[in-house]
Structure 1
Amino acid sequence: MKAIYKFLFLSLTAVVLYSCGAEQSELETKKAELESLQQEASSIQTKILQLESEIASLDPEFASQNKKSVLITTASAQRANFEHFVEVTGSVLSKKNVVISAETGGRILEIPAIEGMRVERGSVLARVDSESIQRNIDELETSLDLATMLFEKQKRLWDQEIGTEVQYLEAKNRKEGLERNLASLKTQLDKTIIRAPFTGTIESVDVRLGELVQPGMPMFQFVGESDLFIEADVSEAYVGVLSKGDSVQISFPSIGESLKTRVSSVGAIINPNNRTFKVEVFLPNMKMVKPNMLTVMKIKDYENDDSVIVPNHLILSDNKGDYVYIVQDGVAKKTYVKRGKTFNDNAEILEGLQGNETLVDKGFREVGDNFNVNIAQG
């Protein structure tokens, strides 16, 4: 019985394999037939086009009858001012981006400032313990009162020519020395109150309440709202193109704002790592602009006040060069051109057009040289 099952299984497998092989063979045969027919059709089409071309050259009437009219729209070449810009990414920086550090040692008693807070010039950011300084001031004021009284008495005696000049000068020197020491301590006392050096925003608070600080220890990152500028790295290929005072166009993608401003500084050194030089651009006060904001800088590197301009997408190319189709008496004419610079889908044409031609616009890929065309209305 097992032998019979085994025989049946092998027979069924053979039938399936044969069927799959037959289907595969039939598929390959059809693919080969299709490829052969495609090659034949291509060859026939080539011969048709060749015969049409030969007959058209011998029989102009046949040529005009054989041409199909293509529906198109048109665009005009223009003679106008052409400007080319280089787009460079930059960022907004502040000349008042500073780190505020402690000027005297002590324990922090108060931190009114918080991150992101906008403060006016002179606003208190933090207070450092000043008890020891205040005690020294109290002692010096007491000593100064005594020294002042003794000096005044000695001066009255000296005015009456009583006593020696040395006694008078010693009293005067002691009084003035205490005054200088007192002024120095009051300056130190004033430095225990950390204030905003100018109007701006607190970017970060780097200390905590109760922390012991030392002179020079960073406490706040502070950014001013004025003296903003834009900095960008420009390729060394544009050395000599930019100069101080040149006009540039700036846009802020994040807020949708743009403006025209001027170059305030051009770097004199090429960065060997990325082959660029620094360019700074003046930025007037703008409400929405913040330090480190991304900007796009458009720098004009070329201008021709009398050039022929056509839409760049209408220019095609073959092995002879660039060309466009112009419309003359209802016929599309293939015209070779020499293309210059391109910007914003506009191309400068150096040779081949005068600027008063009508170009094939929509449908320019369906027409050919000497094709009849119908211009769509409206």
Structure 2
Amino acid sequence: MKKHINKFFVIALIFLAYACGQQGDEVELKKRELEGYKKEAASLKLKIQDLEAEIAHLDPEFGKSQRKSVLISTLKPRKGGFEHYVEVTGSVLSKRNVNISAEVSGRIQEIVAIEGMSVKKGEVLAIVDAEAVNRNLDEVEKQLELARTVFEKQERLWNQQIGTEIQYLEAKNRKETLEKSLAALELQKDRTTVTAPFDGTVEQVMVRVGELVQPGSPIANFIGSSDLFIEGEVSERYVGILKKGDVVNVKFPSLGTELETKITAVGGVIDPNNRTFKIEAFLPRGENIKPNMVSVIRVKDYENSEAVSVPTHLLLQDNEGEYLFTIEDETAHKTYVTRGKTYQGRTEIVEGLTGEELLVDKGFREVGDNFRVSIAQN
């Protein structure tokens, strides 16, 4: 019984292997047959395309009817005002940017100023030791007291016609000389106290307590809060275009604010390193505007109230020039144009458009000359 089962199992395996072999051959045959059809289809497709191109060349209407339409959106050129601006980076400066220096010799006794501190005119910034000046003051005051006494006595004698004129004049000269010396010392004492010459901000403190200073030694860098202006560098190709008195728009990116002002000065020298010249614009006093703040200066250099303009990205170019696609009878046409100035994504068209055309917007890179189009509905 066991031998019969084994024989049956072997026969089943042989039959299964034969069936699989037959099935594999059939699959390979069908694959080869499919590959052949694909090659025939590709060859036939090329023949169809070539034949369609030949017929379209002989009969353009046939070409239009056979071409699939491209889905697009449209827009019209903008008619009206077009402005162009020159944009340059500027910096807020102050005409009152000064180094405050010591006027007397001595050691720094006290520093009141702190970097970044806003002060009013006359407020104390630093104090220089006045000990030497005080000693001289005491000595001169004593000498002056004596000189005044001598002069008063000499004057009484002179009025009584006693003594000589020389004695009287010497006593008078001595008194007056000491009075002038005392006034000079008092002025010198006042100058040991360093004060703010105008309203402003302490930008930098350059000395420390105990440091010895001489007349002219810088103590602090001080920037006035008034008389601010904006300075920018403009390319030399705008020489003659920008003039004193021109209105400019100034934007402060850090503040997010804008204002209008006028050009107050135009440089007369071109910087040989970057081929630019400087312009200055008056800056009205602003609460948050600080010296050295970065700004963007916009100067209008062109304006056309009857311009025709289009989005700049719609302009394409080939060997014949720049063009864009216009729509007529559901067909795209290549229309060559002459561009003017470009500003903020729009370009003025000075020749080639009237402003009444319908332009291809979305899908403009998928169309070609004489392509059929379908306009998407908004």
| Shared fold per TM-score greater than 0.5 | yes
Q: Pick which of 134-143 and 42-51 moved more.
A: 42-51
SS of residue matched to 2:350: strand
Q: Pick which of 266-275 and 44-53 moved more.
A: 44-53
Report the Cα offset of residue 44 of structure 1. Answer: 6.3
8 Å CA contact 1:78–1:356 kept in 2: the answer is: no
**Which residue pairs with 1:173 in the alignment?**
173
**Which residue pairs with 1:198 in the alignment?**
198
SS of residue matched to 2:356: coil
SS of residue matched to 1:170: helix
**Which residue pairs with 2:335 in the alignment?**
335
SS of residue matched to 1:145: helix
8 Å CA contact 2:104–2:191 kept in 1: the answer is: yes
Query: 1:86 and 1:47, CA in 2 relative to 1: closer, same or farther beyond 3 A?
Result: farther
**Which residue pairs with 1:144 in the alignment?**
144
**Which residue pairs with 2:324 in the alignment?**
324
SS of residue matched to 2:68: coil
Gaps of 5+ in 1: 1-35
- Structure-2 separation of matches of 1:234 and 1:45: 61
**Which residue pairs with 2:271 in the alignment?**
271
- Structure-2 separation of matches of 1:213 and 1:314: 68
> Which string of whole-angstrom CA distances, capped at 9 and with x for unpartnered residues, describes residues 118-158 of structure 1?
11111111111111211211222222233233334444454
8 Å CA contact 2:52–2:63 kept in 1: the answer is: no
8 Å CA contact 2:53–2:63 kept in 1: the answer is: no
Report the Cα offset of residue 40 of structure 1. Answer: 8.4
Query: 1:40 and 1:312, CA in 2 relative to 1: closer, same or farther beyond 3 A?
Result: farther
1:51 aligns with 2:54: yes
8 Å CA contact 2:64–2:371 kept in 1: the answer is: no
**Which residue pairs with 1:292 in the alignment?**
292
8 Å CA contact 1:55–1:63 kept in 2: the answer is: no
Report the Cα offset of residue 41 of structure 1. Answer: 11
- Structure-2 separation of matches of 1:227 and 1:356: 51
- Structure-1 separation of matches of 2:263 and 2:147: 62
For 1:1-378, list aligned pairs within 5 A: 47=50, 50-51=53-54, 53-54=56-57, 56-57=59-60, 60=61, 62-159=62-159, 163-378=163-378
SS of residue matched to 2:182: helix
Report the Cα offset of residue 215 of structure 1. Answer: 1.3
SS of residue matched to 2:243: coil
Q: Which one-letter code corresponds to 1:240 in the other structure?
A: G
8 Å CA contact 1:244–1:264 kept in 2: the answer is: yes
Q: Pick which of 354-363 and 338-347 moved more.
A: 354-363
Query: 1:43 and 1:138, CA in 2 relative to 1: closer, same or farther beyond 3 A?
Result: farther
Q: Which one-letter code corresponds to 2:304 in the other structure?
A: N
> Which string of whole-angstrom CA distances, capped at 9 and with x for unpartnered residues, describes residues 34-90 of structure 1?
xx9xx9899769736633532542xx3x34532433332222212222222222222
Give the number of equivalent residue pairs: 339
- Structure-1 separation of matches of 2:51 and 2:173: 119
- Structure-1 separation of matches of 2:94 and 2:358: 51
Q: Which one-letter code corresponds to 1:186 in the other structure?
A: E
SS of residue matched to 2:337: strand
Q: Which one-letter code corresponds to 2:116 in the other structure?
A: G
8 Å CA contact 1:108–1:210 kept in 2: the answer is: yes
- Structure-2 separation of matches of 1:238 and 1:41: 63
Report the Cα offset of residue 111 of structure 1. Answer: 0.9
Gaps of 5+ in 2: 1-38
8 Å CA contact 1:71–1:375 kept in 2: the answer is: yes
Q: Pick which of 182-191 and 90-99 moved more.
A: 90-99
Q: Which one-letter code corresponds to 2:50 in the other structure?
A: K
Flag the structure with larger Rg: 2
With the length of structure 2 as denominator, give the TM-score of the two structures: 0.82
Q: Which one-letter code corresponds to 2:226 in the other structure?
A: S
Report the Cα offset of residue 170 of structure 1. Answer: 2.6
- Structure-1 separation of matches of 2:100 and 2:245: 33
Q: Pick which of 68-77 and 39-48 moved more.
A: 39-48
Report the Cα offset of residue 276 of structure 1. Answer: 1.6
With the length of structure 1 as denominator, give the TM-score of the two structures: 0.82
SS of residue matched to 2:136: helix
Q: Which one-letter code corresponds to 1:236 in the other structure?
A: E
- Structure-1 separation of matches of 2:286 and 2:103: 33
Report the Cα offset of residue 183 of structure 1. Answer: 0.8
- Structure-1 separation of matches of 2:235 and 2:374: 48
Percent of aligned pairs sharing the same letter? 57
RMSD (Å) for aligned C-alpha atoms = 2.6
- Structure-1 separation of matches of 2:44 and 2:290: 66
SS of residue matched to 1:137: helix
